[in-house]
Structure 1
Amino acid sequence: MQLRGTDAVADGHARAVDLKRHLLLRVTLFALVIGLIASGVVLQQAQERIRSHIARTGGTVERLLAGEATQPRDVFRRSLESMDLSSLDGIGPLLGICVAVEDIYKRPAIQRCFDDGADPPVLVRWLLARVIGPEVSYGGAIGQYPGVKVGEFVVTPNLDSEAVELWHQIRTVLGMTVGILLLNLLVYLPVRRALGPTDAILAVLGRMEAGDLAARMPRPRLIELRRIASGFDHLAERLQKTIAGQRHLAQRLLAVREEERRRLARELHDEFGQCLTSIGAEAAFITEGVRGPQPALLPAARAIASVTAHMMESLQGILLQLRPVGLEEFGLHAGLEELVGGWRRRLPECVFELRVEGQVDDLPDELTVSLYRIVQECLTNALRHAAPGRVTVSLRREADACTLVVEDDGEGTPLSTAGSGLGVLGMHERVEALGGCFAMTRCVPCGMRVEAAFPASAMVEHEEEHA
């Protein structure tokens, strides 16, 4: 099912189109196709008309030429010298033909084309010549009395005249095509104007994707987009309230957790600490008391003192984990120095570096504790699982953000399982509760980078609550 969902999303991205561009392209292609088809039909009709016209005109031309042929006085001399095709002057321009006459020896005698003198476009004439071809013609013989053949004639279409007529028809087709394109433009402009707010809608979506849940949709004139914007704003408002409630609950849980830790630390310090101190004092008294009379009990007394000292040391470590010493009294900078210095004393072979930029001691209590706990958890994870040679802690406070970065060069665990522990989950919860961003990435060639960024709104809100 997951694969199908992924494929569906991929198909959805593949089928995504720009409505305005898609509409403009479709109608333009439609107009061009209509123009090409209409032009082809006009050419086909012109070809059929010219073929039929030449076939019908040939007989008429033959009769006119036969009447024009003069009767020579010498019956042994047959000549076409007196012919000038004047019999076709009246009808020739209407027929749109060319006539070529040859004598009986196949020598050209006369050739005329009858047209109205108009010059067609060169491309149209060339195209018409390619469509008609040279085979469209009508041939016949010219005879003189008494039935003697004196020459031959060939009637062909006048391409200039036919091209002019064809150009008039093509211009009509082009006018229709331009009309469709103009209609396309008239449709495209209102659609573009109606869909213009989509850019503003996409900008609002980008702001919300970046985390600005206060962004709201514009109100377009198109009623469908207006309904979508209204529904989206309603969902965004509900989401904003839900996230605000979750953050408030998370902050409350973190505050309760820290308060519980303080209570446990106080109880452990007051009860177990005093008890262990009393046991240690009693063990020392027993050791001095049995040193002379009962030396056999001396090892047991020393063992009790050693176990008590070990328990006291373990209790001090637990108290440090539950409640950082000096964090509330001396500030975050000193608390981090103490935390990093403790690890530096325990692991002298590892290089620890702490960088603090800006004033961090006046941060709100919730943010201060969260930053300290994140650094504490990062150092524990790195030194427990990665065996690094260098660990760098960078904390920078600016006017609009507070950023914490912890980097190490250890081998560590795979990134796919690095965020599955309770410690990482706790860091996520702390950052999200304050409206920040948390990221854990693998460094190249080795190591891990943990980054937590807190916005200025978190500091302002918490500072106001504290006040």
Structure 2
Amino acid sequence: MEMHDSGPAGAVDEGRERSVDLKRTLLLRVSLFAVAIGLVASAVVLQRAEARMRAHIERAGGAVERLLASEAAQPRDVFRRSLDGLDLSSLDGIGPLLGICVAVEDIYKRPAVRRCFGDGAEAPALLRGLLAALTGPDIAFRGVIGQYPGVKVGEFVVTPNLDSEANAVWDQIRTVLGMTVGILVLNLLVYLPVRRALGPAQEILAVLGRLQAGDLAARMPRPRLVELRLIASGFDHLVARLQQTLAGQRQLALRLLTVREEERRHLARELHDEFGQCLASIGAEAAYVSAAVEHARPDLLPAAQAIASVTGHMMESLQGILHQLRPVGLEEFGLHAALEQLLAGWRRRRPDCAFTLDIDGTVDDLPDGLTVSLYRIAQESLTNALRHGEPETVAVRLQRDAAGCRLWVADDGAPRHGDTTGSGLGVLGMHERVEALGGCFALEPVTPRGMRVSAIFPPDACHEEGAVHV
């Protein structure tokens, strides 16, 4: 059966609210604020220009009418109504100040003359079109040109000079655009130091990733920003306290494992020395009684044989208990031989199941605490696999290299009475053993059926100074 390393998958908690990038948010909001100011200011400039032109045309219309009347007041035939010679020269002085266009028609509605006064430079087409759309055809002053004695000789229309007005508005909008560009430049000048100040955020995230992976020795960088520096210092203090707490818990768990194994060793020794000798003595006495009564009292022979049979069964049970309490040959022959003997025992008891053992690396020189824990985990995993399922194959793989020591026990059985994943004192005991040595434990189903137990120990647990003697 193929086995793969299966580390604990760290669950990633996603916040309900969408995450915010402070630098990008700051840059975007200030930029949008600057653009909004520019658009609003430009709209205000256009609106004020439209209001100014509307009021200006009303005031300028009367002055234009008087000037045209004086220009048209020349000696003419009373029956001749003509605008010959009218060139609007009377408006040359005031026209550029008014920024208007004057169109004159004779009494027959024929165009006579049209002139525009003001800035002659061509205005931006887009801005001129906006002003034309804002003003429309209704901003105009219409008047009559008459001659003495009260003869109407023509009409005139005064309209805004859109090119002149557009140039004036464009000057104001350029000022607004300059302010907008200034705000954007200021935003950039603020963004750059903020980005530098928040630059260590990536290093902080990297440290958080190491801590999430279990590296409690990782420490936060010390950013130049005072607030981030205080946060990093407080976080390092909390991690140090957590590291001390976990170290204390690990020492306590190691001590509990030590006491447990010592109690098992003591109990196994007592059972072997006391009950084993007593049962051996009873068996010898039963054999002597059987030989003595075989001819003298044949009626007592079945009782003597029953005593011998029960004694033998008790000896076998005691041997099984002793093997559970303290594996035979684990200290004398090493972990490799002990695992071979463990699987050989199961092969005898379950000949219908195929057991395989794959050991990669040297495992007989591991510390006593890790050796006993690996054996106990394999022992408990095999017991659970054969007790709660009906596997056809069970594979045990033990690997040791520079990355540490890893044990996998996988089977293709299925639970008989529901899913028992993670339940029971046996699984809890395995979990405690692995955590006490600073490792990672996982119990997970495999596809299409079966379970897999994985115990991963760090490199320091594979050396004497990183383990406990049991």
Please report the TM-score for the alignment, with normalisation by the length of structure 2. Answer: 0.91
The change in CA–CA distance for 1:98 and 1:230 in structure 2 (over 3 A counts) is: same
Partner SS for 2:362 = coil
What secondary structure, in the 3-state scheme, does the structure 1 residue paired with 2:381 have? helix
Are the equivalent residues in 1 in contact too, given 2:119–2:167 (CA < 8 A)?
no
Residue 100 of structure 2 corresponds to residue 111 of structure 1: no
2:372 counterpart of 1:391:
no
- The correspondence for 1:332, drawn from 323, 331, 335, is 335
Q: Secondary structure at the match of 2:363?
A: coil
2:204 matches 1:204? no
Tell me the equivalent position of 2:239.
236
Residues 276 and 311, structure 1, Cα contact 8 Å, conserved in 2: yes
Secondary structure of 1:211's aligned partner: coil
1:28 to 5, 17, 31: 31
CA offsets 1:278-330 (integer angstroms, 9 cap, x no match): 21222222223223332322222222222112111111111111111222222
Q: Distance in 2 between matches of 1:413 and 1:162?
A: 92
Residues 269-308 of structure 1 mapped to structure 2, 5 A cutoff: 269-308=272-311
Partner of 1:181: 184
Deviation at 1:359, TM superposition (A): 1.6
Alignment of 1:354-365 (within 5 A): 354-365=357-368
More helix by share: 1
Tell me if the contact between 2:460 and 2:466 (Cα under 8 Å) persists in the aligned partners. no
Deviates more, 1:263-272 or 1:421-430: 263-272
2:217 is the counterpart of 1:214: yes
The structural deviation recorded for 1:171 is 1.5
Q: 1:132 to 1:461 in 2, by over 3 A?
A: farther
Asked if the contact 1:70/1:82 (under 8 Å) is kept, the reply is no
Query: What residue number does 1:6 align with?
Result: none
1:441-456 alignment, distance < 5 Å: 441-456=444-459
Counting aligned pairs with the same residue, the percent is 72
Secondary structure (helix, strand or coil) at the match of 2:397 reads: strand
| Aligned-pair CA distance for 1:189 | 2.6
Structure 1 range deviating more: 318-327 or 282-291: 282-291
Q: Which structure's relative contact order is higher, taking Cα pairs within 8 Å and 6+ residues apart? A: 2
Supply the distance in 2 between the matched residues of 1:10 and 1:124 (Cα, whole angstroms).
Answer: 53
Query: Is 2:389–2:415's contact at 8 Å kept on the other side of the alignment?
Result: yes
How much has 1:371 moved relative to structure 2?
Answer: 0.9
The equivalent of 1:93 in structure 2 is 96
Distance 2:406 2:97 in 1: 92
2-structure distance, mates of 1:202, 1:347: 52
**Cα RMSD (Å):** 2.4
The answer as to 2:242 corresponding to 1:251 is no
Q: Distance in 1 between matches of 2:204 and 2:418?
A: 36
1:225 corresponds, among 221, 228, 231, to 228
Q: In 2 relative to 1, CA 390–56 (structure 1 residues): closer, same or farther, beyond 3 Å?
A: same
- Aligned mates of 1:73, 1:187 — CA distance in 2: 75
For residues 255 and 465 of structure 1, do their structure 2 counterparts lie closer, same or farther at Cα, with a shift above 3 Å needed?
A: closer
In structure 2, the residue matched to 1:46 is 49
Question: How far apart, CA to CA, are the structure 2 residues paired with 1:260 and 1:287?
Answer: 39
**Is contact 2:119-2:163 (8 Å) kept?**
no
Q: Which amino acid aligns with 2:359?
A: V
Deviation at 1:434, TM superposition (A): 0.9
1:460 pairs with one of 459, 463, 467: 463
2:349 counterpart residue number: 346
**Which amino acid counterpart does residue 88 of structure 1 have in structure 2?**
L
Q: Structure 2 CA distance, aligned partners of 1:128 and 1:450?
A: 80
Q: Structure 1: which amino acid aligns with 2:98? A: L
Aligned-partner Cα distance in 2 for 1:85–1:114: 10
Displacement of 1:197: 2.4
CA distance in 2, matches of 1:372, 1:215: 32
1:430 aligns with 2:450: no
Aligned pair 1:373/2:371, yes or no? no
CA contact under 8 A between 1:357 and 1:397: conserved in structure 2?
yes
- Does the C-alpha gap of structure 1 residues 371 and 462 become closer, same or farther in structure 2, counting only changes over 3 Å? farther
2:151 and 2:167 map into 1 onto residues whose CA distance is 39
Cα contact 1:72–1:78 (8 A) shared by 2: no
Matched, 1:135 2:141: no
1:165 Cα shift? 0.7
Q: For 1:380 and 1:214, locate their aligned partners in 2 and report how far apart those are by CA, in whole Å.
A: 37
Q: After superposing the two structures, state which structure 1 stretch, 187-196 or 43-52, moved more.
A: 187-196
**Alpha-carbon offset, residue 394 of structure 1:** 1.5
The Cα offsets for residues 233-259 of structure 1, whole Å up to 9 and x where unpaired, read as: 222222222222221222222122222
Query: In 2, distance between residues paired with 1:418 and 1:11?
Result: 27
Q: 1:77 aligns with which of 68, 80, 85?
A: 80
The equivalent of 2:6 in structure 1 is none
Q: Indicate conservation of the 8 Å contact 1:431/1:454, yes or no.
A: yes
| Shift in Å, 1:70 | 6.1
Question: Which AA in structure 2 matches 1:129?
Answer: A
Matches within 5 A, 1:151-190: 151-190=154-193
Amino acid in structure 2 at the alignment position of 1:96: G
Mapped contact 2:381–2:409 kept (Cα < 8 A): yes
> What SS does the aligned partner of 1:349 have?
coil
SS of residue matched to 1:14? coil
The question of whether the paired residues in 2 share the 8 Å contact of 1:284 and 1:305 is answered with yes
The question of whether the paired residues in 2 share the 8 Å contact of 1:412 and 1:448 is answered with no
Aligned letter for 1:116?
A: D
The 1:463–1:204 alpha-carbon spacing in structure 2 relative to 1, beyond 3 Å, is closer
Structure 2's unaligned 5+ residue stretches are: 1-11
Matched residue of 1:453: which SS? strand
CA 465–291 in structure 1, closer or farther in 2 if over 3 Å, else same: closer
Name the residue aligned to 1:420.
423
User: Which residue identity is paired with 2:183?
Assistant: I
Q: Give CA deviations for 1:321-363 in whole Å, capped at 9, x if unaligned.
A: 1111222222212211211222122112222222211122221
3-state SS in 1 of match to 2:216 = coil
Secondary structure of the residue that 1:402 maps to in structure 2? strand
How many residues are aligned here? 458
C-alpha distance in 1 between matches for 2:440 and 2:467: 22
| TM-score, length-scaled by structure 1 | 0.91
Q: C-alpha separation between the residues in 1 aligned to 2:419 and 2:170?
A: 73
How far apart in 1 are the matches of 2:467 and 2:408? 26
Q: CA deviation at 1:167?
A: 1.0
Q: Which amino acid aligns with 1:399?
A: A
